[in-house]
Chain A
Amino acid sequence: MTDPILSVRNLNVTYLSSRATLNAVRNVSFDIGREKVAIVGESGSGKSTVGRAVVRLLTPSAKITADRMDFEGKNLLSLSERKMQDVRGRRISMILQDPKYSLNPVVTVGEQVTEAYRVHNKVPHKEAKERALAQLASVQIRDPAHVYDLYPHEVSGGMGQRIMIAMMLIPEPSLIIADEPTSALDVTVKLQVLAILDDLVRDRGIGLMFISHDLNLVQSFCDRVLIMYAGQVVEELRGDELGDAKHDYTKGLLASLPRIGDRRGRLSVLDRKDSWSMPVEKRP
């Protein structure tokens, strides 16, 4: 691992409501350097919450605490909202799951990319538009000038996701949080998007937090994998060593994956243990 861009220690996210308090994320610690780090877990395990807590975009009812949440030498939790806006987009970006929902339906895709540049760079609209066209071309969109004037509903899912990536890259951030970026895409398109993300980490040396529920995908794609269950990281492994998992939950998950070529017996089902939800040790 290279020196960390983002270093998180004992992150907790708590939702307060009149009925109960919900500990969505408990004592999560990790570092991300210039590498691809996956956070894997089932729905409701808190993996997306971790991603959004880092950029402080949870609903007001969520309380975020951490011993440390340092990004490029700044403590993200103590920054003012104004300073945080400078970090968002320019230093940390986020790619969301489905471009059908994550792009504003009534603004042309080109304008949305241009806006991402203009938020952080005070340049004339024309110059920003040229940057946006170049950025669209860099994510393998063949006819940027044509695509620029389309509305989100007029582009395909794969192209939408590439536009999303272009939009998030244009201010040249050093960390990208990808929240299930390929779950809404077809298999072939999925591979193209992954290839773009892979190039980014290699060529530009940025960090990638890859949030996913797809074990098969992350073990081939990511350098390191954090397994989350019930708001905690239960295990941390190298991507290629996933087969050597020690935690019962990880093993159970791996066992329940269907494999091509296997005998078509019954897939194993997770036998959940209460002990998995017990608090894990804090990290200093």
Chain B
Amino acid sequence: MRRGLEAMMISNAGILRTRFGTGLSLVASILVTLFGLLALTFVIGRVMPVDPVLAIIGDEANQETYNRVYQQLGLDQPIYVQFFRYVSDMVQGNFGVAILTGKPVIDDIIRVFPATVELATLAIIFGAGVGIPLGVYAATKRDRLADHIIRFLTLIGYSTPVFWLGLIGLILFYAKLGWSGGTGRVEIYYTGIVQPITGFLLIDSAITGEWDVFWSAARNIWLPAVILGTSSMAYISRMTRSFMLEQLSQEYVITARIKGLSARQVVWRHAFLNIRVQLVTIVALAYGSLLEGAVLIETVFSWPGFGAYLTSNLMIGDMNAVMACVLLVGILFIGLNLLSDILYRVFDPRTRS
């Protein structure tokens, strides 16, 4: 009899777990957001510029090119037809041809993207690897000197313009100390030795056994990665601190202390397990916003990645390429959100069925 009652209570608890809605509505919501992204980039790229043709081909093109592009864009068509054509182009991955390289934009992006991912991944490893312990430590020292110092340092991390930090880093670690290899992915005489396999130079050079290239790449990547990771470190440590403080005020912390665990054991064996879910979300978010820093840091370090590609196309006013990049960033953001949603389910037993 009691077994039955308990079983009922257990299954009742299960109802509370469905907080994410069904898979179907998730798919629908992603589709709506993607459609919105397309609409937004369409407005920015085709509607806002005074002359979208000039926005794509630049001022110096001749009349013939102008007419051809005018036709291609279908600017003589009503706006909804233009939008429909734009969406169908985008869905097929047809982003047009980049003026800068003369190649399809999509090919360019695939080529430059790994450099950015490599940089951003190392940056987030640094940001989370330093930021999380720092935030946990600050929470355990709440309102004490260490907490105030960490708070001040993270505010500095928040407030520093990343491009400027990059320049200062170059002056200090490249020009003065010689600890860093300077700009670009490797020293100039190592370029082109390793053919892209994964596109991640550190991995490719290790696979092919080109250790000179590997060390050169490592010397070149650590500085931009650390600088790029600094602002996410500040963000992650502040968020970690506030999540941790929330957990440390929970009753189960008292329970764990009552069992005889030390304050440190409670933090890592109990409270930390409860902030994993939130940490996953903010680390994913921070990873996404690294793309923002990457635009600036790649310019500073002449890093041949996605950010540098975006800015060099901005400079020559190639809106096709710019909009493709912007669209990609938006899609990546959605992807990261989705990923953190999935990880949420993995780490939190209350969301599992």
Residues of A participating in the B interface, judged by any CB pair closer than 8 Å: 52, 55, 57, 81, 85-90, 93-94, 96-98, 101-107, 115-116, 119-120, 142-143, 150-151, 153-156, 159, 164, 167-168, 171
Residues of B within 8 A of A107 (CB): 270, 273
- Given A96-B254, A101-B251, A102-B252, the answer on whether A143 and B259 have CB atoms closer than 8 Å is no
Cα-based distance from A116 to B10 in the complex (angstroms): 24
Distance (Å) between the CB of A77 and the closest chain B CB? 17
Distance (Å) between the CB of A70 and the closest chain B CB? 20
**Contact residues, B233-255 vs A (CB, 8 A):** 250-252, 254-255
Residues of B participating in the A interface, judged by any CB pair closer than 8 Å: 2-3, 5-6, 9-10, 13-14, 16-17, 250-252, 254-262, 269-270, 273-274, 276, 347-350
Residues of B within 8 A of A94 (CB): 254-255, 258
Cα-based distance from A24 to B14 in the complex (angstroms): 41
Cα-based distance from A89 to B256 in the complex (angstroms): 9
Asked if B255 and A153 sit within 8 Å, CB to CB, the answer is no
Closest to B260 in A: A89
Cα-based distance from A107 to B268 in the complex (angstroms): 13
Cα-based distance from A259 to B10 in the complex (angstroms): 35
Residues of A within 8 A of B14 (CB): 154
Residues of B within 8 A of A151 (CB): 349-350
Closest to A106 in B: B273
Q: Which of B13, B258, B269 contacts A168 (CB 8 A)?
A: B258
- Given A57-B254, A96-B254, A106-B274, the answer on whether A119 and B261 have CB atoms closer than 8 Å is yes
Cα-based distance from A53 to B315 in the complex (angstroms): 67
Closest to A150 in B: B10
Asked if A154 and B10 sit within 8 Å, CB to CB, the answer is yes
Asked if B251 and A96 sit within 8 Å, CB to CB, the answer is yes
Q: Which A-B residue pairs are the 5 nearest by beta carbons?
A: A89-B260, A156-B9, A101-B251, A151-B349, A89-B259
Cα-based distance from A150 to B14 in the complex (angstroms): 12
Asked if B254 and A102 sit within 8 Å, CB to CB, the answer is yes
Closest to B144 in A: A60
What are 8 A-B interface contacts by the 8 Å CB criterion? A89-B258, A102-B255, A104-B273, A106-B273, A107-B273, A151-B350, A153-B349, A156-B9
Q: Which of B17, B255, B347 contacts A104 (CB 8 A)?
A: B255
